[in-house]
Each structure stands twice: as structure tokens, then as C-alpha cells.
Amino acid sequence: MIGALLVTAAAVLAFVASSGGNDGPRERFVVATRDLAPGDLLTAQDLALAVVDLPPAMAASAQRNPVRLEGAVLRGPVAAGSLLTAAVVGLDDAGPDGTAAWRYRELSFALPRSRALSGNLDRGDRIDVLATINEHTEVLVQRALVLGTSNRSDNALLASEDVVLTVA
């Protein structure tokens, strides 16, 4: 009987020692407080910290400082509760103090519906902007982010005319 008790106690101690006492997650990472769309400008209300243990490869790209992200523009969609990563936030152009002091430059222009995929462009799509002059075509911008459109039925007056795109 005492032998069985000693074996059980040794097994419990070995489990506790091998699991490290199960202290739980220790690192904090930035998560979205609501569903966010491409082109959204991040505010403090969009960001929260969550305590999570991540594998090293995921932790390397996950954001840790919500203040640094304020004012950044999203490159892709982020669901509420999801981690904000370098790929979706893109802080390549962060200001010298580490904050996202930059903004996208926005441009709106009208195109004939036939030149804009029949108006089937949505916020978050990526487009290339080209110009043709004297039968010579140049690429002006590659992978511009569509921030908004006067899309399909958004404006009955434009339904058969131009599509107005706002890109960054």
C-alpha cells in the first residue's frame, strides 16, 4: 500500500516538473477588437492586448505594441479577436519614433464601367493603374488598394455610366 502511494506521488511530481507548473501564457500580442477591412485606419479602439503563447515563428510577425499601430492602414481583412501581424499591417514606412505616422495617399477617379471590370470592384481589391498615350501604355501604379467604389447599385445615376474608384 505504501509502495503504491509512493509511486503515485512520484508520478504526480514528475508530471508537475515536466509541465513547468503550467503557468499559462506569458506574452502579450495585439488583437483586433472588431472586424476590420482592408483600407481601415487603425485607432486605439480597434486594438487590444491578449495574453497568448505562440510558436516562435508566429510570435516573430505578431505585433506587440498597440500604440505603434495607431494610424496604420490595413492591407487585408482581420476578424475580431485575430492577431495583427506585420503582413496585414505593414509598418514598413513607420515614422522615426516607431509609430505609424504615415498615411496612404488617396486618389479618386472615374472610369467608364467597361474599363473597370463592369464595376465589379470592391473595397480591398488590388488593381494596377495604367495609362495609354499615343498608343504607348505605361504602368503608373501596381497593386493599388481599392478603398472605395461607386459600385454596382450604390448610385443609380451612375449605374450605366462611370465607376468612381478611390485607391491608395
Burial environment of residue 168 by CB neighbours within 10 A (0 to 12, 13 to 18, 19 or more): middle
- Please give the pLDDT value at position 47: 94
The H helix count followed by the E strand count for the chain is 4, 6
For residue 16, pLDDT over 80 is answered with no
Contact between 142 and 130 (Cβ < 8 Å): no
Cell of 8: 503515485
Determine the Cα–Cα distance for residues 61 and 88; give it in Å rounded to an integer.
10
Q: Supply the mean pLDDT for the chain.
A: 76
pLDDT 10s digits, 18-71:
555 556 668 899 999 999 988 788 889 999 999 988 888 888 888 999 988 888
From residue 132, give the alpha-carbon distance in Å to each of 137, 138, 162. Answer: 4, 6, 18
pTM of the predicted protein model: 0.53
For residue 103, pLDDT over 60 is answered with no
- Domains for the chain: give ranges and CATH numbers: 25-103 (3.90.1210.10), 107-167 (no CATH)
Residue range 86-113: average pLDDT?
Answer: 66
Q: Taking Cα atoms as reference points, which of 129, 121, 112, 120 lies closest to residue 147?
A: 121
